[in-house]
Each structure stands twice: as C-alpha cells, then as structure tokens.
Structure 1
Amino acid sequence: MDLLKHDASPVALIGDVVRSRTRTDRQALHDELSSAIDEANRAVVSEDPLVITVGDEFQGVYASLGQALHASFVVRAVLHPRTDVRFGLGRGTVTTLDPVRGIHDGPAYWAARDAIVMVEERARKAQTRTSRTAYVGPEDAPATVAAVQSALDCLDFMVGSMSSTSREIFGGLMSGHTQHQLAERLGLSASAVSQRVRRDGIGVALEAAQRLWGLP
C-alpha cells in the first residue's frame, strides 16, 4: 500500500507574509506578492491557482503535494530577499462555496490552516526559527507525514541559513537559469557561483526540492 496515495485528495496551500505589518510600503509589497503569485501560477499546474485573499495571505489548490510544494518554493524564491513567507499545506477534500469569487472551504483548507499555525509556533522557538513550511495530511500515514515534515524542516534550515547571494543563486537555479546566467546577473565569476553551489549546499537543497516536487 502506498503511504502517499496516488489517488489521494488534493492539497490546499495557504501562504502568509512574515512580519508584513513592519512594511510601510504596502503597495510595493502587494505588487511584489502579486508578481510572485503570477510566476508560480505560470510555473506550476494547479486545480485552483493561487490568489491573494485577505491582507497579505494567499491560497490555492493542487492535485498533489509535490505541485503545492513547487509553487511555494517559486513564491519564496521570487520574493527573496525583500520579503519572507510562511506556508501551510493540507490534504483533504475541497468545497467550492462561491465559484464566481473563488471562495473555497473544506478539510484541505482546515488542515492547511493548522499547518500554517504550526509554522508560526515553531518559528518562535530558537531551535526551529528557520521553519517556514508545514504539512498536515490526515489521509496519509503518520510516519509518512513525519518524514515529509522532516525533509521540509531540513530544507527550510538550509535555505534559511544561506546568505542572500546564495539564496538568490538557489532561487535562480530553481527557476531554470544556468550558473553562467546567474553569474552575469550577480556580477560574479562562473567559478564563484559554482563554488557557492558546492560549498553552501545549494546543489543539495535543489535536488531535495526537486525530489519533493515529485510527491503525489
């Protein structure tokens, strides 16, 4: 029996800007978030594309956990370094309350809300301060959910511990840019970018992210 079922319910993604109230340039923040969401919607197939809901929160629905995670990584990469985001992902059924305005509800959203609350609580603790992503999957085996969360914790730590330049390289590679293109954009030598990919764990983080994108 598959621990992550291929015919499982969809996954809801809820995102929220970290410390958004400290930003005085509210219009600029909204524009940045809108641009990041547009990029994620172009890059990742969804059942319901990401939309901004209330304030600095956004949500969408995906057929698989991997797709939802892919979208979260795209948003995070586009917004870096000015804006940080937390993500809650939850598996379950989705109910459409208002198809015209795109208002949805149901167990997937309840699980995603529980997940984002979990992220907020863990980020307040020193040992898990880099936590930005959590998954709640009531339909999945508890051991599998724990394994997925462990992988997300490690990836969040790796990305959160990178310098701004290394995180920009990670985001660029994740978006499909080559090391040579990123070297030109950042004003670095190709060898300097290559060294960062090896030394700062960028290559490991990228491979881990790509493996997570394949989850059903």
Structure 2
Amino acid sequence: MIAVTADIIGSRALADRASAQRALEAAVTRVETDLPVVERPLRPTVGDEQQGVYPTLEAALGSLLLLRLALPDGIECRYGVGIGPIGAVASRAAATGEIPEGPGWWAAREAIDHVHGLQKRTVPGARTWVVAHESEPDAVHAAARRANAYLLARDQLVSDMTARARRLTYGRCLGRTQRELADSEQITQSAVSQTLAASGSAAVVEGFRLLGVS
C-alpha cells in the first residue's frame, strides 16, 4: 500500500478557504470516478491536509497527475507519497475510530516536507515527491528515485500549463479525441492541437499511459 499526504499550497492566504476546499473535493471525486484505483479515498484530516491510500505506486502517481490537471486555477496542492507499512491506532476520539499510523505515513510526511523545500529553493514547479521508508529493500528505494526523476519533469510541465491545457491534457489521458475536446471547449480542433503541442502535453499523456493504470 502507498500512503499519500496532500496539503493545499498557500491555504492561509486564500480569500475563500471554504470554496477552495469544495473545489478540491470536487476534483478528487471526479478523479476517483474517472480512475477508480484508490484503496482509501483522499479525504481531509485536519487543517488543509488530506490523506489517502493507493494499492500501487503507479496508481498513486496516475491519480495525483489527474488531480493536478483537474484542479482549477488558484488552487494547488503538494503531495507526499510514502512507501512502507501502514496501519492505524485505535482512537475513540477520532471520527473513523482510528488514527493513521506507520512507516508509510512517516515517509509521506518526509516526502511532502522535501517537495516543499524544493519549491522554495531550486524547483518551484515541483509538487510531488516519493520517499521509501528506511525499512524498505534497496529495490524499493531505487524505484522511488526513478519515480522522482519522472515527477520532477512531469510536475514542471503541468505547473507551466494554462487551465485550458490542463483540461485538454486530462481528457487526452482518459482517451478523449481532439475532436471531442474541441467540442467541449467550443474551439477548433486546430486550436486543441496547438495548445497540446505548446504545453508539452504529449509527454505527460504518454507518461500517464506508461504507468498502466488507465
């Protein structure tokens, strides 16, 4: 299982925090409907933090890509992906009767702290990072490093996209044709093609396909 922690970037500065939360939850619901691979849905925990569980690293990365593409302008999250055992501690005070716990969650928190640091320093377009807990075998740590190399490039492309380019890329990830996308956007197919080409969408879509979760 793969633990994911997400938080809303700049949540304290948002003019309408409640509206942002509704938009995030609508985007999460849309992604979980279009790509039903989640083990435990991404849901709010406390403050601006969300937590979810995915069955594989590929499922987590595919879902988080679609979520980034589905979010409207002005609302962004950073995502920490943790590989390691996950569990829970029983708690009568918690709404679900338990509190998420375990090395996978600790790794997810380390990952989100790392990507936050990247944003502030050398890679402002970074949004997603993977950390394997120290107890995981070397092969898992190697897989995490490969995933991060892919994520750095993917996140930069998505961070540079316009809202329309993200919508079109989302559709292409799900196999919608350029003609269908042109009709939904009320623009020409040529305009769709030009937007996709200018934004680097083809690389993002091909990367999503290679994850094998569609």
Tell me if TM exceeds 0.5. Answer: yes
- Bin the TM-score by the shorter chain: 0.7 to 0.9
Q: Is the 8 A contact 1:80 1:168 kept in 2?
A: no
Aligned CA RMSD, in angstroms, stands at: 2.0
Determine which of 109, 116, 119 is the counterpart of 1:113: 109
Q: 1:213: how far off?
A: 5.0
* Corresponding residue for residue 5 of structure 1: none
**3-state SS in 1 of match to 2:179:** helix
* Corresponding residue for residue 55 of structure 2: 63
**CA deviation profile, 1:17-38 (whole Å, cap 9, x unmatched):** 1111111212211211221222
Give the direction of change, closer, same or farther, for the CA distance of 1:101–1:71 in structure 2 (3 Å limit): farther
Q: Is the 8 A contact 1:90 1:110 kept in 2?
A: yes
Whole-angstrom distance in 1 between the partners of 2:78 and 2:174: 19
Any residues of structure 2 matched to 1:126-141 within 5 Å, and which? 127-138=122-133, 139=136, 140-141=138-139
Whole-angstrom distance in 2 between the partners of 1:144 and 1:92: 13
Whole-angstrom distance in 1 between the partners of 2:15 and 2:107: 32
Determine whether 1:171 maps to 2:175.
no
Q: 1:134: how far off?
A: 0.1
Determine whether 1:53 maps to 2:48.
no
Give the direction of change, closer, same or farther, for the CA distance of 1:30–1:163 in structure 2 (3 Å limit): closer
* Corresponding residue for residue 124 of structure 1: 120
Give the direction of change, closer, same or farther, for the CA distance of 1:40–1:98 in structure 2 (3 Å limit): farther
- Uncovered stretches (5+) of structure 1, i.e. residues with no partner: 1-9
Q: 1:171: how far off?
A: 2.2
Q: Is the 8 A contact 1:53 1:59 kept in 2?
A: yes
Paired amino acid for 1:87: Y
Q: 1:176: how far off?
A: 4.4
Determine which of 37, 49, 66 is the counterpart of 1:74: 66
**3-state SS in 1 of match to 2:147:** helix
Whole-angstrom distance in 2 between the partners of 1:81 and 1:122: 21
- Uncovered stretches (5+) of structure 2, i.e. residues with no partner: none
Determine whether 1:88 maps to 2:80.
yes
* Corresponding residue for residue 103 of structure 1: 99
TM-score if structure 1 supplies the norm length?
A: 0.86
**CA deviation profile, 1:167-191 (whole Å, cap 9, x unmatched):** 2211232344332232123232111
